[in-house]
Structure 1
Amino acid sequence: MMTLFKNKKKLQQCEETTQQLSAEVLFATQYIQALLRGEKIEQIANAQLADSALIKSLQDFQSHLQKIEKEEGQRNWINVGLAKFANILRNDAQDLTAFYNELLAQLVKYVEANQGLLFLVQDEVGEKPYLESVACYAYDKRKYLQKRVEIGEGLAGQAYLEQDVIYLTDVPDRYTAITSGLGHATPRCVVIIPIMLNEKVFGILELASFTPLAPHVMEFLKKLSENIASVISATQSNRKTRELLEISQMQAESMRAQEEELRQNMEEMSAIQEDLNRNLEETSRLAHEVSTREKVFNVTTILSETDKFGTITFINDKFCEVAKYDREELLGKPQNIVRHPDMPRELFALMWSTIKAGKVFKGIVKNRAKDGSHYWVDAAIVPIFKESGELEKYIGARYHITDDALAEYLYDQQMKRLGIKKMEAHGIPLHQ
């Protein structure tokens, strides 16, 4: 009897187990069909089924599928975003200010942030680098007025130095205010992302939001920042290339202008050289003529120059030859060093009054040589004036009269004509 009871109980347990398994299989089938339809089963009403290992495995499988789906959705969101902004970045922007503002506006909207700032590094040669705000979206105007941020100043300047993302979830009350339908409110999170490429920072991206940014959003922002850095690098490189090209073109134009100016100068110099050659030829011809005349003068004429006081400043070889003085013995001496004592003072007084009046004096004069001998000359003394009219010097040209008899005859005729008593040699008294 006892054995029959035990067998009946075991049979009952088997039936219950079979029913439980049948219920679990049925529920599992419905569960899987719901998953295939894309329906999500958040809660199981039957507590016994909820504790089933099979159902728990199915729930774990559902969670895994949801995780995979979520991750796939996030990857798709990242890829779609990168493709979207790749198209924006490929645009050939003529107006960089409008380009950066549009890029920032689209980015803030895509990541569902509330505000955005874009800084670019200004690193001119010879100047200290700094950050300059080039785009702003939904920021308070007073915040946007700060166009320049020094390196190391604020979060943006710090992110530049650290070359790393700064992510704040405990934002100070006065950091910034977001204007919305709720009024002015402090954001829940702020992210500062260096725009980097090959370990070089080209700019800083700052985003503020009421809600924290998910990890996949941060991953997207990091990847996008590299793409933006690449575009900025290419833009700056193109700008520098254009500037260098413009400089090169200006230099080339300047060189062409200089070459043209040089060509004109060469032509002018060639013309000047031709004129100079002609002048040199003329000068050479004149010098030859002067040299020839000087030779003739040295043979025929006793030539001298004195200042306006009668001091000898120049004599030619003929003067030295006839007067029997060395040149050094005469230069700087008064002209009357060769005056013969036989000559009357009246004649020299007449000569000085004539030449001081600006007229030429001509006369027969007896001079004394260094050795005491005499020589006769037919003299012409010419006064020379400056352009201002002031007397400058006297030039005397004399012709040597070697025939004493002729010289004395001409001298006598001159003295009679002038009405001056002549002095006889050796102190003989004057006579008419």
Structure 2
Amino acid sequence: MYLLENPTKSYAWGSRTLIAELLGTAASEQPQAELWIGAHPTSPSELVDSRHDLHSLVESDPAGVLGPHVRAAFGDRLPYLLKVLAVDRPLSLQVHPDQHQATVGFDADRRAPATDRVFKDPNHKAELAYAVTPFEALCGFRPVAAARETFAWLARRMPGMREFGQLAHLLDGPDDRVALRAACRHIAGLSTDDVAAMIDCLPSAATNSPDPSLHTAADFAQSYPSDAAVLLAILMRHVSLAPGEALGVEPGTPHTYLRGGIVELTTCSDNTIRAGLTDKPTDVEQFLEVLTYRPLASATLASRRVGVAERSYTTGHPEFELSVLRLDPGLTVRWEPKPRAVLVLDGKISVTDSTGTSELGRGESVFVPADTGPVVVAGDGLAVQAMTGV
């Protein structure tokens, strides 16, 4: 078992306090957006009291660290990445590729200058977000009829803005996928002047509408007054999570996280394709190619009770599964051998394997290789565990 020291990422949308409070440190001078726990080669977790990191540990002994089942399924790599995200401002409007898109894109990007590369690795990216505070997002396309009605309402309210009516017309076809593709392509092809004029209408229009997606787009207007991604937001589903609820994000699903704190578990990939709402590089054409054009019936995930103290969440991708432990004194949980990362969110937790016991407090984490045998967890607190589904 290895105690971990985990890297943080500083992005403009992050929080100065949320990750600091989790780690028990003073508020940071710069926004801390992400805490990474895993073996991604660009930012692996460090092994405390060792000169090695988790990526090099896996490379040096994949059979022992991963175990035969995980290694047979995913090769010589840890297939998941556990994160804490602290969202004070909206992220970019983004999408992640499926496996075929990632493989082809990464191979093509290797021939391009490093600064022009969109694909960072050859792996698909799926996500699971578990809310630790109230959390809001736009995730996936909402029912086409709802988006069509909003654009039609904007056209009636702003008769001089003919593009609103055109978008309502494009969304009126019998095939939702064809309609969504046409609407997204139309928005991406608008002139900068048309986009700016349409966005300028949104704040006043939103005051007379109960539509949460329109309100979110109106909120974007001041910061991004000529960004077509603001209009794409009207096509998307607004999602609110209470602490303890979870959200699944499949490859091809457009999304942006708006505010709140989450534990995020993903496949071990950093492939993100952005359409806007950011100062980072965007690739709108690639974004439109990767999108899955279908309305999202529901983004929230049901949990599965594993025992008295544990609930499990999964999106069905075998690379990762998240379990949440709420332990009271006297309760113990036993896990069979598997590569596991454990992060304490509150209280104190003890983790025991064949190498000994680690006593963990808030913000502390360990990695347990497969070859250290069964694991016993006890204590009084709240923790999350990342593992594979195989």
Q: TM-score, normalised by structure 1?
A: 0.21
Instruction: Pick the structure with more strand per residue.
Output: 2
| Greater length-normalized contact order (CA 8 Å, ≥ 6 residues apart) | 2
The structure with more radius of gyration:
1
Instruction: Pick the structure with more helix per residue.
Output: 1
Q: TM-score, normalised by structure 2?
A: 0.22
